[in-house]
Structure 1
């Protein structure tokens, strides 16, 4: 029995980036008998068990349902733990179970970035034990894999790199957008600090030669932020994930304003993947986001964008096609990683 330590993806959580990663991995094991343990320290005081064909999903409180957790884990031939956040909930089992740990990100550094010094210390301890005891570490980029090699001296042949790739479009479609209007700049995401929304709004004020469209789950808050910058005509929408691609296909550029810090250098941002796959050229603060630079992706620097220094139509189309080639390379890496993961799970 294959046991995943993670929430199970459903219509209520599908917009979350971590859940999208979980769903991507799960899609490769749909024929397996598998169990999801969604464990919480603060919720699920009343346990929930959902059984559907070869899938069982438990929602359990760590303290109230520990014996159930212990029973399920004891029967598992392998544990697949999504993120160090979930590793904390099953840390003792790393010592006597075969565990695959999907890192998702660099959790201790994320905690430090958000000002949680105590949480950063706790998760750094958890991460150290989990990395040392895991049979295999799954990273989303080679840069992330190198980070864990350097931090812990880990050099295990079972470790894999599996990027997150969303459905793209055919390369010939990338240059078929409406060229009669001015270029369209899109942003699809939240308003968290690390997204640098204020810098986006500064760009909106500076570059009036293009159109803008912001897609976010919190449109009212985004509009309030825009008003603070004196912007009263910003197009802001909230759409389902299924409709986001339609908006990408109408867009030419997209904000991907990540600071040059470790969190961003090791990441494989879903937004960046979606941009490149759908002919949206990223506007960046730092070019070093995940493995994109290693593959030679094309981008627009933020400082050039606010000065309206944009490529010609023919140059833009070349950039889009180059980025589609980058996505194909990353997709090949993902396929190789998934093949190795499936073989590992069957052993």
Structure 2
């Protein structure tokens, strides 16, 4: 007899990134002959259903209706810790307390938990003494390798930089602009492009440091053809817990298009991921001059296209491999749904 899984996801929880991730899980469920019903209304959930949720908020709404509902959850980040960066005040404090407690209960009751990094698992072990083996580690990613992007004309001959994504304080756009401004003074041919919906916020930062840059935004379907043009991609982060446990999606987007990432050492899982890679620039956001020095050293050697393609292809085979995660999901979920 087939088991039915209800998928509770609200419109404000879904994006191109989350949809890609969710589709991997849905396909794996279909592989074990489970029926999938996707809903955005908790009224469509029965108390005996097994429900997959992607936020603590959805789990809370579910348990208000059915306190003993069986769930599976995707833990995307350290939400209670992220709320420290939100607006101050009593309401935010109450939210932090609520989500902190909810996180503890969810981890205890979830039939299967999806984490985005080994660092996140270690964080939960330390914070809540999490000791379940019913979890899967699958990093955030939203693309497959775009080999044609590696061969974009003159891609690796130009000193071109791109910043793609959100412009929250933890995304460190300001530090990226400062870093670029220093390079621009010594290398006038250097260019910077910011690809973000938050164009006004980007303009303010550029104006603050008197830096010229192209600002634009592309839907996911058009993004790869734009990213193919650039050599380096910024992914700098400060030393914060929410950054240590994250696996930012933009890294997979950069790598898939042959963009050499300039990223911070604080992103825990990326250290292991790049342990065998030659095509990377790592650094500490508190020492931008050292990052610039590393960029200049890297610039001294030509990029061999076939070599960088092989390098990043290996990362996708090991780290961003849909087939590997699908098999792991089937292995873990199969016994739960019998």
TM-score, length-normalised on structure 2?
0.80
Match of residue 329 from structure 2: 338
Which piece of structure 1 moves more, 79-88 or 234-243?
Answer: 79-88
**Highest relative contact order (Cα 8 Å, sep 6+), 1 or 2?**
2
Equivalent runs, 1:114-125 vs 2, <5 Å? 114=86, 115=88, 116-125=92-101
Q: Any conservation in 1 of the 2:53–2:74 contact (CA below 8 Å)? A: yes
Q: Any conservation in 2 of the 1:8–1:36 contact (CA below 8 Å)? A: no
Q: Does 1:288 align with 2:288?
A: no
Q: Does 1:324 align with 2:313?
A: yes
Specify whether residues 304 and 27 from structure 1 end up closer, same or farther in structure 2 by C-alpha distance, changes over 3 A only.
farther
267, 290, 309: which one pairs with 2:296? 309
Q: Any conservation in 2 of the 1:162–1:338 contact (CA below 8 Å)? A: no
Match of residue 195 from structure 2: 215
Q: Does 1:2 align with 2:18?
A: no
Specify whether residues 248 and 85 from structure 1 end up closer, same or farther in structure 2 by C-alpha distance, changes over 3 A only.
same
SS at match of 1:74: coil
Shift of 1:283: 1.2
Q: Any conservation in 1 of the 2:28–2:327 contact (CA below 8 Å)? A: no
Shift of 1:34: 2.9
Which piece of structure 1 moves more, 312-321 or 271-280?
Answer: 312-321
The structure with more helix, counted as a fraction of residues: 2
Q: Any conservation in 2 of the 1:94–1:130 contact (CA below 8 Å)? A: no
Which piece of structure 1 moves more, 334-343 or 125-134?
Answer: 334-343
Count of residues paired in the alignment = 311
SS at match of 1:73: coil
Q: Any conservation in 1 of the 2:81–2:242 contact (CA below 8 Å)? A: yes
Match of residue 74 from structure 1: 47
SS at match of 2:262: strand
Match of residue 82 from structure 2: 110
Specify whether residues 94 and 281 from structure 1 end up closer, same or farther in structure 2 by C-alpha distance, changes over 3 A only.
farther
Equivalent runs, 1:54-65 vs 2, <5 Å? 58=41
TM-score, length-normalised on structure 1?
0.78
Q: Any conservation in 1 of the 2:141–2:250 contact (CA below 8 Å)? A: no
Q: Does 1:179 align with 2:154?
A: yes
RMSD: 2.9
Unpaired segments ≥5 residues, structure 1:
39-57, 61-67
Q: Does 1:167 align with 2:155?
A: no
Match of residue 235 from structure 1: 214
SS at match of 1:309: helix
